[in-house]
Chains A and B, each alone.
Chain A
Amino acid sequence: GAVVSQHPSWVICKSGTSVKIECRSLDFQATTMFWYRQFPKQSLMLMATSNEGSKATYEQGVEKDKFLINHASLTLSTLTVTSAHPEDSSFYICSAHAAGAGTDTQYFGPGTRLTVL
């Protein structure tokens, strides 16, 4: 159990286009999902916290108008990178917190590698 999927696993796009990444909890309901990004040889950096049915909370330095997050259901959160530029190229990873679980464990998706040309 506790499987989180992401789609797509990788994407290449031209500068100026928008890219949507989906994060799904497959066998549990997730009241809260988190989005991270990871640059080469660096650790994961938290971008935002997404709660079902409400606006996301962004970390300092993350542009909310550039990284649009929607958490419309208990099993799906989406991250849209708008007007992507080469500096947005990164590994984007989501995680989900299981609702009502006895222990608060976060489960991570496999990640989406974004390359902006």
Chain B
Amino acid sequence: DAKTTQPPSMDCAEGRAANLPCNHSTISGNEYVYWYRQIHSQGPQYIIHGLKNNETNEMASLIITEDRKSSTLILPHATLRDTAVYYCIVRNNQAGTALIFGKGTTLSVSS
């Protein structure tokens, strides 16, 4: 699977949008972009995923560049409970393929 690069940490004010970037310049055509987050001492939580089109759900929006070499996760109105480590992972959709975690971005939301 392709490797991703994320900034180690980011800060965001409560109520503002949090934009978390991810670089995946070696992504293959059949690989999806997945985002998970891990709140301290809990299991990772699925957020969103996409192939090439932008995606939105109740938690976040995912913007993927046209060349698919990078993406941005957007939390439109960050709250204190969004403080977590956010992982961007690229992975093909073959059944039985594990998610391989990098170091992620630690997002700190403050009031």
Binding site for A on B (CB under 8 A): 36, 38, 41-46, 49, 87, 93-104
Contacts and interface: CB of A to CB of B under 8 A. Distances in A.
Contact of B49 (A91, A93, A105): A105
Given A93-B43, A93-B44, A111-B43, A103 B49 contact: yes
A49 B43 contact: no
A110 B42 contact: yes
A32 B97 CA distance: 9
A48 B38 CA distance: 20
A28 to B, nearest CB: 13
A43 B99 contact: no
B107 to A, nearest CB: 15
Given A105-B46, A110-B42, A31 B98 contact: no
A108 to B, nearest CB: 4
A105 B102 CA distance: 18
Contacts of B43: 4, 6, 93, 95, 108-111
A108 B45 contact: yes
A117 interface: no
Contact of A51 (B38, B45, B49, B96): B96
Top 9 nearest A-B pairs (CB, nearest first) are A108-B43, A44-B101, A32-B96, A43-B101, A104-B93, A108-B44, A111-B43, A110-B43, A34-B98
**Listed residue (A45, A91, A104) with the most chain B CB atoms within 10 angstroms of its CB:** A104
A46 interface: yes
A3 to B, nearest CB: 11
A49 B95 CA distance: 11
